[in-house]
Every structure is written in structure tokens, then in C-alpha cells.
């Protein structure tokens, strides 16, 4: 079970990771985008941290939807609508729950993936965050269906997200600002896929470390 407190810890940890990796994400974006992904994400999550206390006593769905709404209103570029959609869909998927079972965690990430694909009109192979999100969700599903506990399944999801992130390096971008570069976008890691990998990694670090 993942408690509401652990969901809040995950959001806090992810915000700290984004702050720590802000320059790196922005460097990645400088190569193929507007050089603002790290800056925008950090601004968004600082705003999230400021707002979290106002919903900390609410159910998990309300908390996640609040994160999404704050991100939409504070993050510039494509990251705001995409990450905003990701968290809002997560919140809708878990509803008024106070704790999450493994099946809820899968449903939450699946809803996030579906929302991002719809919002960004992106499919795997187009050098976007979908390239990390899709294999991560699939790995999580396969691991849980094979009987793994959530801890082991999360580790597999992180590994799949990392693989997906690295797989964006040789890709030619088909979506967003990077697509304007055409063939020149190849050879650079996608910043959105990178922040998506960090999202899963921070979840595993908090939720798997809680019982350790």
C-alpha cells in the first residue's frame, strides 16, 4: 500500500530532484528546444510545493489534480499542459482514495500516459516524454501481472523509463519545437523523456525506501 503521506513525500522528492537537475534539463532542451524545460519545471514545482499544504488533508485524487492545475497555470512551453494533464489524469484515476494498492498505481500511470498521448498527439518513436512513459507503464503492468510486488515492479518501470529516455538520443523529433530541427535533432536526449524518467525514479526511491 502507498499511503497519502507517501504520495506527498514523492511529490516533495520529485520537486527537489527537478530543482537539483534544473540546469541539466535546460542544457538538454538548449540543444533541441527553447532551453527552458528545467527552468519551467522547477518554477512549476516550486509553485506546487507552495500550494500542497492547502490540499494535504484531502484525498489522493484531489492532491494530484491540484498539482496538475498548478502546473498548467505556472509552467511555460509544452511542459505545462503535458505535465498538468499527466497529474490531473492521475488524480482522476485514483479518485477519493486515501491509500493506493499496486493496481491503483498502475491505473494512475496508465491514465497519465493516455492523457499525455492525447494532449500531445504523440506516439512512441517521436522523441517526446511518451518514449519514456510508454515503456515504464508497460514494464509496470507486465511485472504486476507476472506476480511481482509493487517494489519490484517499480524498479522495472524505472529501468524501462531509463532505456526509453536513452532511446530518444538517435531519434529524429517529430513533435514540438525540436521537430523544426529535423535531422539535426538526432544525437540529443529528449528533455521531456528525461524528466519523465526522474518522475518514476523519484517514486521508486520514496516508495521503495519507505519500508527499507
pLDDT digits (tens, 9 = 90+) for 120-139: 999 999 999 999 999 999 99
> Smallest Cα–Cα separation from 199: which of 146, 142, 140, 149?
140
CB contact set of 199 (below 8 Å; sequence gap of 6+):
14, 161
Q: Note the pLDDT tens digit of each residue in 18-66.
A: 999 999 999 999 999 889 999 999 999 999 999 999 999 999 999 999 9
Residue 158 has pLDDT above 90, yes or no: yes
**Does 148 score more than 60 pLDDT?**
yes
| Domain definitions of the chain by residue range | 2-209
Displacement of CA 93 from its chain's centroid (Å): 15
CATH topology of domain 2-209: 1.25.40
What mean pLDDT value characterizes the chain? 95
* Residue 3, beta-bridge partner list: 99
Q: Beta-strand (E) ranges in the chain?
A: 2-3, 99-100
User: CA 134 from chain center: how many Å?
Assistant: 11
pLDDT digits (tens, 9 = 90+) for 185-203: 899 999 999 999 999 999 9
Length reported for the chain: 212
Distance of alpha carbon 24 from its chain centroid, rounded?
Answer: 16
CB 104, CB 150: distance < 8 Å? no
Give helix then strand counts, H and E, for the chain: 9, 2
Amino acid at each position: 500500500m502507498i499511503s497519502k503521506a507517501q504520495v506527498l513525500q514523492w511529490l516533495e522528492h520529485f520537486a527537489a530532484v527537478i530543482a537539483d537537475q534544473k540546469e541539466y534539463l535546460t542544457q538538454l532542451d538548449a540543444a533541441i528546444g527553447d532551453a527552458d524545460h528545467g527552468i519551467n519545471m522547477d518554477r512549476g514545482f516550486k509553485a506546487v510545493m507552495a500550494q500542497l499544504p492547502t490540499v494535504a488533508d484531502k484525498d489522493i485524487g484531489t492532491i494530484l489534480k491540484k498539482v496538475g492545475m498548478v502546473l498548467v497555470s505556472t509552467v511555460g512551453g509544452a511542459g505545462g499542459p503535458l505535465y498538468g494533464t499527466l497529474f490531473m489524469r492521475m488524480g482522476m484515476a485514483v479518485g477519493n482514495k486515501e491509500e493506493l494498492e499496486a493496481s491503483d498505481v498502475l491505473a494512475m500511470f496508465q491514465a497519465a500516459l493516455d492523457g499525455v498521448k492525447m494532449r500531445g498527439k504523440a506516439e512512441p518513436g517521436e522523441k517526446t516524454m511518451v518514449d519514456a512513459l510508454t515503456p515504464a507503464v508497460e514494464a509496470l503492468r507486465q511485472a504486476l501481472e507476472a506476480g511481482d510486488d509493487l517494489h519490484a515492479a517499480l524498479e522495472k518501470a524505472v529501468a524501462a523509463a531509463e532505456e526509453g529516455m536513452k532511446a530518444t538520443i538517435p531519434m529524429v523529433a517529430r513533435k514540438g519545437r525540436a521537430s523544426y530541427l529535423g535531422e539535426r535533432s538526432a544525437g540529443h536526449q529528449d528533455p521531456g523523456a528525461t524528466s519523465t524518467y526522474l518522475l518514476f525514479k523519484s517514486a521508486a526511491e520514496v516508495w521503495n525506501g519507505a519500508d527499507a
